[in-house]
Amino acid sequence: MSLANAPRALNKLLIANRGEIACRVIRTARRLGLASVAVYSDADALARHVREADEAIRIGPAAARDSYLNVEAVIDAARRTGADAIHPGYGFLSENANFVAACETASIVFVGPPASAIAAMGDKSAAKARMDAAGVPLVPGYHGDDQADAHLQAEAERIGYPVLLKASAGGGGKGMRVVERGADFQTALDGCRRESQAAFNDDRMLIEKYLTQPRHVEVQVFCDSQGNGVYLFERDCSVQRRHQKVLEEAPAPGMSEALRREMGDAAVRAAQEIGYVGAGTVEFLLDPSQGQDGAFYFMEMNTRLQVEHPVTEMITGEDLVEWQLRVAAGLPLPKKQSELTISGHAFEARLYAEDPEQDFLPATGTLVRFGLDLTGAGLGAERVRLDSGVEAGDAVSMHYDPMLAKLIVHGYDRAQALATLNRALAALDVSGVVTNRAFLQRLASHPAFAGAELTTRFIEHHEQALFAPTALDEADYARAALVALDCLHSEAANDSPWQRRDGWRLNAPARLRIALAAPAHGRDTAAIVTVLAEREPNRGDWRLTVRDRRFSGNLQRLDGDGVALTLDGHRRRLLARRDRDSHGETLVLADAHGEKRLAWRRLDAVDHGQHEVDATLTAPMHGTVVALLVEPGQRVDKGTPLMVMEAMKMEHTLSAPADGAVEAFHFAAGDTVGQGDVLLEFQAGDH
């Protein structure tokens, strides 16, 4: 049935969100014949979701509280454009009961649950009490009204350490701390209360037994207004950083059919207990140490569409946004539980503008390149999907969540899907903004992840391997030199020997030196490796000398960024790209096993001196100066905190790069700085 002829007729849909989820909803709306309306802040006037929508309305300045969180502005945009319905996406107003009530008052269909269901799950303590009454298993804990410090500590002692303190009204890891022993309880409680009050205007706490090796498994549920409810199986979201998901997969590995049914039925009971309508996710902690299949415990319910919903779509073949729109239009669920099946396995990797090497510091800038080179990687598009809210040329702002895109892959089984994920991550071509792409590939290629040894502390447990510097051998430098030689050859303006830059010599084989340097790890100085390249007579191959090793090699260009690099008869297919910035040029060589990055130049243009510590510190991203921690002229040791910046609701401390002194600060507390701005003058060395 057309949505225009449904019980609640839908013809035009406003998406009260931005980025990749707005673009994703627009695609389904267009397929179903719905006109789409985007909303945008001043920072997003040229954003991709604005470009893709049929109409777009400005709703305020850059700050989210004045635009995407402005209920009146969003409702007014729907009225002005004649939108029948509003899809909230996730985040922003998606779980705001007052916004749902405002939609009902304005006679606008809210694509989501009723306000009462959102309110029921928004208070985590009250929600757990209702789940307990509905027979949904709970982690041992305290969710009561007595919030006296002494009573909370007594409850923690009763439960037994370690315990997890959580904000009752919280989410996103805010107001949440693990307490290992009673002596630390009061300090942790005070900190959680402050964070919860600042984030949610509510400092009530709940306490749960902290499971040391749990898995985070969530169940996708759907309910309609006729009282029907189904579950679309589960997702494993255990791999997280700062309590936020990084890699997700469906179905959860190692699940028995009995446990899957038990968790699914419990999730549907939880949804129906609160009169739920639409798409929702019931999150569980799975303790694999309990019994044959493990024991699961209700954690919370997200009363909206989840970021990771595409992996469920991949294994079920269903469009969950279409289901949302049909249910919102008053139609019954498209399928019964008996009609839903699992096909294969799927992964989702979240691409963030952030620097894992700098404690996941959010990054800003302009995307020079952004795309998925499936051709170069030798992949087909039928099992790979990129949901993004950006394109090449777009600016990444400091004002919003740094997620750029989601890379989703499907395979016949987990092993095939994981192999495809690694190849697809190599094919993800992003430059101009620092991202976690390479870190995602290190995660996905880690042996423990391949073995499905999943816990919510996976990154913490494998930190040493995940953050280790990339190991390079002589063959890696030789391959990089072949790519550099190809770059020099391609830069020739014409076939004239006087225009060539690839070592051409009159009456002699081509000969030149290439200087290569892997990125420095931490504050170490990058080591420069010299490769002597000589063209082999009558063959076209290169003789490459790296340190004390010699190779014979050549390069063949393939489709896209694909290249075939042959060393001593061993041919390997790779993706080879060039990144340019103000510091020079970097070669990026990537395949399913990871990537290697090397700065390069012709030797006659390279400064071989060991560089001293840079005399300036620059802003790693756009933000605001919060505090200056030392006085000009003050002597400091290497690593001493010098100043604090705030961006994307996070504080970042900049430290001294060496022993020395700050000669001058260029900004004061409260000043706004741009990425790359010189923040201070620093003189290294003794005085």
Measured CA to CA, the distance from residue 426 to residue 374 in angstroms comes to 9
Q: Any idea what DSSP says for residue 452?
A: T
Task: Measure the N-to-C terminal CA separation of the chain; round to a whole number of Å.
Answer: 80
Q: How far is CA 277 from CA 21, 229, 330, in A?
A: 20, 9, 10
Measured CA to CA, the distance from residue 486 to residue 524 in angstroms comes to 30
Measured CA to CA, the distance from residue 682 to residue 364 in angstroms comes to 24
Measured CA to CA, the distance from residue 670 to residue 18 in angstroms comes to 28
Neighbours of 37 (CB within 10 A): 24
Q: Under a CB-based contact definition with an 8 Å cutoff, are residues 229 and 271 in contact? A: yes
Catalytic annotation, pick one of 193, 304, 383, 535: 304
- Answer yes or no: 557 catalytic: no
Q: Which residues pair with residue 685 across a beta bridge? A: none
Q: Residue 473 carries which side chain, given as an amino acid letter?
A: D
351 is written with which tokens? 């691409």
30, with CB counted inside 10 A (0-12, 13-18, 19+), is middle
What's phi and psi for 30, nearest 5 deg?
Answer: -65, -40
The H or E element spanning position 105 is helix 97-105
Measured CA to CA, the distance from residue 33 to residue 10 in angstroms comes to 10
- CA nearest to 351, candidates 375, 378, 386: 386
* DSSP codes joined into one string, 348-379: EEEEESEEGGGTTEE--EE-SEEEE-HHHHT-
Q: Under a CB-based contact definition with an 8 Å cutoff, are residues 363 and 402 in contact? A: yes
Annotated catalytic sites, by residue?
304
